[in-house]
Chain A
Amino acid sequence: AQSVTQLGSHVSVSEGALVLLRCNYSSSVPPYLFWYVQYPNQGLQLLLKYTSAATLVKGINGFEAEFKKSETSFHLTKPSAHMSDAAEYFCAVSAPVGKFYFGSGTKLNVKP
């Protein structure tokens, strides 16, 4: 069975600090992995996705994520947090293709 675990339901960083949001997955088949962002009272927007082309994936708004098969991880990072990054972030796996499994989400708070 496929599943996604996001460590930390709330993460707080200072503006300008490194953002690290953790995601571990389990999958019996090679996965496709996604990070989505959700701003208050909105739907989910795709930040980035891993499709096996490259292990380091760059997304929008300066975010990137690295696929590490040995660790079954797909952590999301951003070198310098901005106030506008405050949102909820969801990691998702699609395996087999077309079946999506979501983590429980991590709320990112950015302090001035």
Chain B
Amino acid sequence: DVKVTQSSRYLVKRTGEKVFLECVQDMDHENMFWYRQDPGLGLRLIYFSYDVKMKEKGDIPEGYSVSREKKERFSLILESASTNQTSMYLCASYSTGRVSGELFFGEGSRLTVL
């Protein structure tokens, strides 16, 4: 059973803290994504990575950075958390080898910044 695993389902952090959100996939997918989900706004792409150590900015990269040191792991970093980063964060992966392939999602990490 294919799987995308996000390490933390629920986190509560304070303003200014550094936050790490970890994502691991076991499908040997080249591409990994971080989305942010807010009510009424759907999913917005923060960053994506199409290979190890490669990354591309998505639509809303400000305030975030990412790390991909191994193919299966993609981390989202909030250098200094702010209250407007309170949100649901979704990790996803995708195989380039499947032309009509879909995104596979993790369960999500709900972050609250106080």
Contact = CB atoms under 8 A, between A and B. Distances in A.
Interface in A69-112: 90, 92, 94, 97-98, 100, 102-105
A44 B105 contact: yes
A4 to B, nearest CB: 8
Interface residues of B, number: 25
Contacts of B43: 44, 90, 102
Contacts of A97: 99-100
Given A51-B100, A98-B94, A100-B103, A105 B108 contact: no
Interface in B97-114: 99-100, 102-108, 110
B105 A45 contact: yes
A44 B96 CA distance: 20
Interface string B16-44: 00000000000000010100000011110
Given A43-B90, A44-B105, A49 B100 contact: yes
Interface in B61-114: 90, 92, 94, 96, 99-100, 102-108, 110
A42 B43 CA distance: 14
A9 interface: yes
Contacts of B50: 98
B105 A43 contact: yes
Given A41-B108, A41-B110, A43-B90, A102 B102 contact: no
Interface residues of A, number: 23
Given A102-B42, A104-B41, A44 B90 contact: yes
Contacts of B106: 43
A106 B101 CA distance: 23
Given A104-B41, A104-B42, A105-B42, A32 B100 contact: yes
A13 B31 CA distance: 38
7 contacts: A42-B107, A44-B43, A44-B105, A92-B103, A94-B100, A100-B103, A104-B40
